[in-house]
Amino acid sequence: MPATVFAAVFIALYIAHSVGDHWVQTSCQAATKGQPGWTGRAACARHVMTLTLTKAAVLAPLVLLLDMPITAAGLALGLGLDAASHYWADRRTTLARLARTCGLAEFYSLGTSSHPAHPVTADGGYAPTLGTGAYALDQSWHVLWLGIASLAIAAL
């Protein structure tokens, strides 16, 4: 049964993460959460709070309607780990530093004008892309922690 709980919780958290990170997060939070000082910290904290509430809202029907054996301690630990890791990565300088440490600085800058092979228009101007290496690393970091959170929720 714990494996089933893990799978169901992971799916719910993955769905909620996508909604919370892309639909619930405000433009102001997205634009300022990586800024230095209290402005950035507060914006990031507001984003993580609404994201965590979104995850709890998506988990609630799963637990209630499917009678999932989830404990308050497991839920608190899992959502707490997820929130802390999300805040850490979304402050941006932390994830960029980790990317550099892992030898991924060039990939982190992929899709931006600072990348050595950045996309350009026919006139030589910057041609924005739909995704960046920073976004890909950010999202894969979050998915890793969704798995860890799901394991904590299912195991306690």
CA dihedral 30, 88, 92, 154 (to 10 degrees): -70
The DSSP element (H or E) to which 56 belongs, if any, is: helix 37-65
Measured between alpha carbons, how far is 35 from 105 in angstroms, rounded to an integer?
20
Average pLDDT over residues 17-44: 96
Would you place residue 131 in the very low, low, confident or very high pLDDT band (cuts 50, 70, 90)? confident
Question: Can you give the pTM of this predicted structure?
Answer: 0.88
- Name residue 56's beta-bridge partners: none
- Mean pLDDT, rounded, of the chain: 91
Alpha carbon distance 56, 126 (integer Å): 40
φ, ψ of residue 70 to 5 degrees: the values are -110, 135
Nearest to 70 by CA among 84, 55, 88: 55
Q: What span, in angstroms and rounded, lies between the C-alpha atoms of 54 and 14?
A: 11
- Residue range 150-155: mean pLDDT, rounded: 97
How confident is residue 132, by pLDDT bands cut at 50, 70 and 90?
confident
Q: What is the CA radius of gyration of the chain?
A: 18
Cα–Cα distance for residue pair 90/131, rounded to 1 Å: 16
